[in-house]
A = this chain, B = another copy of it.
Amino acid sequence: MPKENAVPNGVTMKDVAARAGVSTATVSRVLSGKGGVTPELDQKVRQAIAQLGYYPNATARRLRQRDTRIVGVIVSDIQIPFFASIVVGIESVLSEAGYLILLGNTLDDLANERKNINTFLAEYVSGVIFAPADASDTTHYEKLQRAGVPLVAIDRNPGKLEVDTVQIANASAAARAVAHLVEEGYQKIALITGPDSISTAVDRRRGYERALVAAGLPIDPDLIQDGDYRTEGGYRSMRALMEGPHRPTAVLSANNVMTLGALQYIHENGINIPDDIALISFDDIAWAPSLRPPLTVVAQPVHEIGRVAARLLLERIEEPQASIKHVTLETRLIARASCGCGRSSSLKSGRKLSLQSK
């Protein structure tokens, strides 16, 4: 059976008040720093606090004030660098503002998502930042919304939910990548995409198609493979493309997790990048420059996504009735070598060519 919890420090505000010879109200006033306490008493209280090593109990304060200053954050997997960096971005802004973060790792499982949201409700969180696992089922988020919890959606479109959002320009980012491949001379360009239930996959596909049309190239359904945003899906998709009727000469992979699988197929079959197949992947990851050839990527401003989302949430907490904001951030195409860049010239590893998407 659980023993009674350790009481880290027996000292309460009452002890401080007694020692300083004042009421707890006065101690509270000193702590709040809002003034209204004579210098003498202020001095006495501070002394007592120091002598006793007192620090306020956050739980008690939270119960009394209606503001918990806890923010729930829901991502699909903190082990994916993309989400880890977003969380760090969120944290940098929120901790500055005195908020605590409760992290919910859903692994894109609806049951986990629901469980996390119930926890958030029970904790009376001040707000929630989330990347919805499935835009077609947002009923649990509606529950939060009905309860009056400020919400900010990141990365993915939250379906019919009317909330602040922070996203990247997915379509134009994909289009820019495809256009780059076209400029490099590729014509048979394939796409490994994600599930239709996730907006980023849909938008990236749209950008892909738009760029092909703009280049006067046909849209070949055989060259669009659903990789489910997973590693195995990336593997399967790459195989389908390479063994299919219309073998492409270049591929855009819509996220880094699928790229992992695609590369596995490529390596297992001794396929050469970019000579046999050129490759561009969404998401810059630390290892991209170390791949041979270095991986050309569509880099998302991950920290910025987190920071902006955190700021939007803070604003929403201040002004619940303000009009809803949708922030779109730009991406960068970092041309390394997997896209065929410099095939004709000598390659310099580590070189970075930054291009605005659109």
Contacts and interface: CB of A to CB of B under 8 A. Distances in A.
A59 B66 CA distance: 11
The size class of the interface chain A forms with chain B is: 35 or more
B291 A292 contact: yes
- Return the 4 tightest CB-CB contacts between A and B, nearest first: A6-B148, A8-B147, A292-B292, A287-B287
Nearest to A56: B122
Given A87-B78, A292-B292, A350-B264, A67 B4 contact: yes
A64 to B, nearest CB: 9
B88 A124 contact: no
Given A2-B317, A3-B318, A287-B291, 17 more contacts: A3-B317, A4-B67, A6-B148, A6-B320, A7-B148, A58-B123, A59-B68, A78-B87, A78-B88, A79-B81, A79-B88, A88-B105, A91-B105, A102-B102, A260-B286, A260-B290, A290-B291
Interface of A: 1-9, 55-60, 62-63, 65-68, 78-79, 81, 84-85, 87-88, 91, 100-103, 105, 118-119, 121-124, 126, 144, 147-150, 260, 263-264, 267-268, 285-287, 289-292, 294, 317-320, 349-350
A57 B66 CA distance: 12
A287 B260 CA distance: 7
A6 B150 contact: yes
Contacts of A87: 78
Nearest to A269: B349
Contacts of A150: 6
A349 B267 contact: yes
B59 A4 contact: no
